[in-house]
Structure 1
Amino acid sequence: MSPGQKAVADESRGGRQYAFRRPIPRLIQRRSGIFNHGGTVAPGLDYAGRCPAWAVGARDQTRTRRSVVGRIVRLAVRRSAGDPLKRRRPMLIPTFTRTSLLVAGCSALVLAACSPSAEPPANTEAEASAQTQEPMAMAQTPFSAAEAKMHEAMMSAMGADAGETWARKMIPHHQGALDMSEIVLRDTQDADIRRMAQKTIEMQPGDIAELRRWLETNVGAAAGAAAPGGSAENPYATAEAEMKDAMMAATGADTDQTWARKMIAHHQGALDMAQVVLRESQDADIRRMAQITIEMQTADIAELRAWLDSHPAGAA
């Protein structure tokens, strides 16, 4: 059947009929491809010869494929050229006014003042190190003043040799025991403490007088004063330091216990110093007095320990 004739074609597959009332222009036929190669009418045309729906869809798909392929090619070219694929967003440039700057500055000052870091530290590192280097403070007791006076006088007492130094140091040492015994006699009611304190008061002046006579006879200097050109080394430094620390740490529940504990440390210091002078000095009188000191101080320490043992509250 020719395209110019009025005919009816049956479609064998779908059973539809397509009628052509007028000839279809060749231009439309060529562009839309409505005819087969044999010249027969392709199924799906309307009476006006327009492209069917499936032909339009195929054409759109072809255009879509072409646009997608072109876009892929353009993106590949841009990527090879180093051009970023994503579009950059425009940068927002903030604008400032006098009011906004003033508000921001005030807010920063308030936050800085209220922050914990703005507060000054309680103790700096220098203060902390200075505190650790300070010596241990003496516990305040009725005997604190007498102890401090004794230790200061013993530290400044020096002689030309070990014998003279020992004699000069033992004078304030005995004076300290005398002062502390007088203090405990005013406060205590214990019979044993009063007896031991009274014995110390009676014996110490005689020991001090003997040491002063030795200094006047052998040195010719005022007793208790540092001799000119005295020895730079102090062989009793260790014994003095140990005695001072022990006396400072000795405390008790009352005056009696405190005195007993402090006198034990006091007498132990005299023992240690006497042993040093026995090794260092060859003077007969100094060695005799040192030996008497060791015997008497040993007996006094035993008596004080026995008293502490009989009083459980003040036991060591």
Structure 2
Amino acid sequence: MIHTRSLTLRSLTRRTALAATAVTAALVLAACGNDSDSGSDSGSGSSSEAGASAGASTGASASESAGAHNDQDVAFAQGMIPHHQQALAMSEMAADQASSAKVKDLAARVEKAQDPEIKTMTGWLKAWGEDAPMESMPGMDHDMPGMGSDMPGMMDSKEMDELMKASGKDFDTMFLTMMVEHHKGAVEMATTEKEKGEYGPAKTLADDIVTAQNAEITEMNKLLGKG
């Protein structure tokens, strides 16, 4: 009996200890859980606010990219694309018809700068749901719709034909003279965009055009002996 009672007491003691341990563990876990929940709630709130803020920012950026433009931005892109295309057509002639290495170098730089700008502006027009001018076809650059003399600095078909037939020093002089006027027209168009446009990237491009083409005008006038 004594032995049995001793076992019973041991069993009860062990159960009590285990129960106490379990209760203690439960309390600790509950406390941790409360801290975690509290931190989680706080973190979740911050995360949600940050997410909402980021979402709003992203939405604003998307809206700005697709919608924050005006009629002047559209007119700038639709006009500058064919303006650039004519400059490319003139510059392509220089590779075979110019005699001056400096004229050929200038023409190559014009192509390198303006071809990517055409692609950029075409992308804007597509994003805005606006019509983009058709890409030029070989041999038809100066006959494209919209490439008449109604835009400042644009050459007419007769002038482009004369340039196409010229070669050597005559080509150099004609090319430089025409390109100076062409660049002045681009600067005029870009200045209007800077003053009246709304779309940030278009205004930035316009500023780049003004800076680069004014510098090239100075360079070409020096080559013509006017600088």
**Structure 1 length-normalised TM:** 0.40
**Aligned pair 1:221/2:221, yes or no?**
no
Alpha carbons 2:87, 2:110 under 8 Å: kept: yes
- Residue 203 of structure 1 aligns with which residue? 113
Alignment of 1:12-161 (within 5 A): 161=71
Which residue is 2:209 aligned to?
A: 293
Residue 263 in 1 paired to residue 179 in 2? yes
Structure ranking higher on relative contact order (CA contacts 8 Å, 6+ apart): 2
Contact 2:152–2:188 under 8 Å retained in 1: no
**Who is 1:24 aligned against?**
none
CA–CA separation in structure 2 for the residues paired with 1:205 and 1:265? 19
C-alpha displacement at 1:189, in angstroms?
Answer: 2.2
Give how far 1:277 is off: 1.6
Q: Does 1:167 align with 2:77?
A: yes
Compute the displacement of 1:261 (Å): 0.3
Go from structure 1 to structure 2 and tell me whether the alpha carbon gap of 1:291 and 1:242 turns closer, same or farther (over 3 Å shift).
Answer: closer
Distance 2:177 2:195 in 1: 28
Alignment check: 8 A CA contact 1:243 1:268 kept: yes
Retained in 1: the 8 A contact 2:73–2:197?
A: yes
> For the residues of structure 2 that align with 1:174 and 1:199, how far apart are their CA atoms?
13
Over 3 Å counting, the alpha-carbon distance change for 1:242 and 1:211 in structure 2 is closer
Q: Distance in 2 between matches of 1:211 and 1:241?
A: 17
Distance 1:223 1:183, change over 3 A: same
> Of 164, 182, 200, which aligns to 1:284?
200
Q: Which segment is superposed worse, 171-180 or 198-207?
A: 198-207
Quote how far apart the aligned CAs of 1:240 are: 4.5
Which amino acid counterpart does residue 184 of structure 1 have in structure 2?
Answer: A
The percentage of aligned residue pairs carrying the same residue is 26
The structure whose Rg is larger is 1
Residues 245 and 187 of structure 1, relative CA distance in 2, 3 Å threshold: closer
On the 8 A contact 1:260/1:304 being kept in 2, the answer is yes
| Unaligned stretches of 5+ residues in structure 2 | 1-68, 135-148
CA apart distance, 1:206: 0.6
- CA deviations on 1:221-274 (whole Å, 9 max, x unpaired) are 34227xxxxxxxxxxxxx9455248995x9997011000000000000001111
For 1:39, the equivalent position in structure 2 comes to none
Q: Give the partner amino acid of 1:285.
A: P
Unaligned runs of 5+ in 1: 1-158, 226-238, 310-314
1:254 is the counterpart of 2:170: yes
Aligned to 1:243, what secondary structure does the other structure show? coil
Question: Counterpart of 2:130 in 1: which secondary structure?
Answer: coil
Query: 1:236 aligns to what?
Result: none
Q: TM-score, normalised by structure 2?
A: 0.54
